[in-house]
Amino acid sequence: MFISKAIAFAFFTIALEKNLSAADAFVTPKLSAASTNRRTAPLQVKVRGEGYGAPLDNISEAVGNTPLVKISDRICPEGRTIYAKCEFFNPLSSVKDRLALAIIEAAEKDGSLKPGQTVVEATSGNTGIAVAMMCAQRGYPCVITMAEPFSVERRKLMRMLGAKVIVTPKAGKGTGMVDKAKELSEKHGWFLCHQFETDANWQFHYDTTGPEICNDLKDMKLDYWVTGYGTGGTFYGTGKYIKEKSPDTKIILAEPGAANLVGSGVKTDRNDDGSPASSHPAFSAHPIQGWTPDFIPLVLEKGLDQSLHDEMVEIPGTAGVEMSQSLARNEGILTGISGGATMWAAVETAKKAPEGSVLVAMLPDTGERYLSTPLFASIEADMNEEELEIARSTPSHILEPVVA
């Protein structure tokens, strides 16, 4: 699945950039002088047919080493360069695969997770999917708590991976699903992942995501790194590494305008274990699933305490949805609302940045997680009038709409 997605992504990118037919897109094109000049560095990708590398021992070994993909001038402001860090190349298609692997490996190492013990966690979906993947691979029973508003396809994916999904009422928000996971852990003696509190979260990004970005850009400067936050692990770990290796890089942290928890300056009340004691007063519902729960996670707070970010950007209204749709239609990049929101922040930053600036924006997951959300609300399953006109332009196999 991982390799198939990579091939499909390369196919569509080439087809879009070169305006090739489906058959021609699989033939290595000869680069014109103009297209060669557009590159800011020599081509580093593997030759087609070279293979992935040695066979993997298990699916967890496919986590990480996701690519940076250049955004064209159809979206990127002129004179600037934006690269997307495409985390949907992870085996279960999100950045949270890193988090799940980090938590399970750390718990196995320190003995807090016993063989056959049930693993439980609260999640908006991507972490739960990743935890379910790791539990399936390692042989642990898995229980996930998830608040009612999050997309139903996420529930189905977790159940497909063998997890039990406990849906909590909408009124309880994110703190409700966290409280439920904690209750279940204490009642049944299950291992609680504590994704919002554990240092294993940010440490894995420090060890992997940060080095990947810096290594891939080793012959270029990185002027801006742009990210949002869910748990804060990507921001803290990756940001810490980037600031150590490239102190002049500016870190841009984004959050929904409707839920500007960090921007409010108000801290989250905490229980003794670092979990939220109550809902944050600045929170209100927003469309960016996976971002900004109704509390400031402890992992995020630790990163904020280190003053890693240089600027906050608030994402207005439906900007994340609109940019995600634009990435799909203009770049062939299918990412979720959080990816669209991050790219919107990157584009707005690039507009103000000096000419020649290089930016990297995190794209946390795939758009396929959002089929039942506002991202796909305008996408019809049935043929529209334009498609019917194309169908009727030749005589055979015309599926006419049923008249009620």
Dmax of the chain from CA atoms?
71
Asked whether the beta carbons of 231 and 95 are under 8 A apart, the reply is no
96 among known catalytic residues: yes
Q: How far is CA 359 from CA 129, 203, 208, 300, 391, in A?
A: 29, 23, 19, 22, 43
338 among known catalytic residues: yes
Query: What is the DSSP track for 368-382?
Result: GGGTTSGGGTT--SS
Single-letter amino acid, residue 313? V
Could you tell me which of 171, 183, 181, 148 has the C-alpha nearest to residue 279? Answer: 171
Asked whether the beta carbons of 314 and 286 are under 8 A apart, the reply is no
The DSSP code for 236 is I
Out of 96, 173, 182, 250, pick the active-site residue: 96
Q: How far is CA 267 from CA 22, 92, 233, 305, in A?
A: 53, 33, 18, 11
Asked whether the beta carbons of 205 and 308 are under 8 A apart, the reply is no
Query: How does 55-90 read in b/e, with b if 16+ C-beta sit within 10 Å?
Result: eeeebbebbbebbbbbbeeebbbeebbbbbbbbbbb
238 token code pair:
């990756």
Q: How far apart are CA 251 and CA 246, in angstroms?
A: 11
Q: How far apart are CA 102 and CA 124, in angstroms?
A: 18
| Catalytic center residues | 96, 338
